[in-house]
Amino acid sequence: MHDQHAASELPSVRRQKILLILERDGKVMASELSQHFAVSEDTIRRDLSELASAGLVQRVHGGALPRPKDTGKDFFTRVGETDEVKTRLAQLAARRVQDGQIVLFDSGSTTLQIARSLPAEISITAITASPMIAIALADYKGIKVILAGGQLNPATMSASGQETLRLIEGIKADLLFTGVCAIHPDVGISSLHFDEVPVKQAMLDSASHVVAVTMADKLGAVEPFVVAPCNRINTLITEQQVASGNVEDYRRLGIEVVQVDA
């Protein structure tokens, strides 16, 4: 069934829809997309070229495939890796938590490290959709843990769906530690997993102050599914040495950038 308004869509919207079709079908063909969106094959080929240039698809003759999966690591691989810089970033972030606060913990190995780095006597209410983070927080006597249920994504070890959203949308948190797959000053915060997007957006809407903690390789990167503009983040904690991009791009957006020496 064709999109009735496809011809008038912005290219960025059409490309997001192409990514959704690719995730669903495992491949896309320019001829079929041309019919689906009621645009020329040349237009679709330009779309696929732009997506390939951004590293979001793999171009093949006549269409595109998902980019190779070995570019990422599963949750348990990332958790099992010891990284001194990531530990220091997490420890710095954990110092921002104050007694009596309501704190949202997004999914991710870095966010899990923040949970493990909290002061032993801290007294807060913590909300998360990640069972792994909930278990880590349960070790603290002074932390009341609320776990948002839903369908578990084995790749992220985090819940999503209407049950998850209902709980998060009913909370007014003081602080959010958001997980970051990629962050680009122009594109914004983006994710590799489509089902994460509404959960992350709900967390951003529910928090008074948002802290993103990320290694430098996530800066300037782009993943297929956009979550929100960069200016939804209040504080960005990252490494001193940044290989790609410029942290000043984020400061110009009004974000407090804190860099940690290796």
What is the per-residue pLDDT for 77?
59
How many Å apart are CA 147 and CA 126, to the nearest integer? 8
pLDDT tens digits, one per residue of 202-240: 999 999 999 999 988 888 888 888 999 999 999 999 988
pTM: predicted TM-score of the whole model, two decimal places: 0.72
Total structural domains within the chain: 2
Residue 92 sits in the same domain as residue 158: yes
Q: Which domain holds residue 37?
A: 11-66
How many Å apart are CA 256 and CA 253, to the nearest integer? 9
What is the per-residue pLDDT for 5?
46
What is the per-residue pLDDT for 19?
87
What is the per-residue pLDDT for 66?
79
Is position 6 within any domain? Answer: no
What is the per-residue pLDDT for 65?
84
Q: Average pLDDT of 150-179?
A: 93
Last residue of one domain, picked from the residues 22, 42, 66: 66
CATH code for the domain of 125:
3.40.50.1360
Is position 5 within any domain? Answer: no
CATH code for the domain of 15:
1.10.10.10
252 and 211 in contact (C-beta within 8 Å)? no
Residue 152 has pLDDT above 50, yes or no: yes
Q: Which residues of 220-231 are buried (b: 16+ CB within 10 A; e: fewer)?
A: bbbbbbbbbebe
DSSP 1: -
Q: Average pLDDT of 23-33?
A: 88
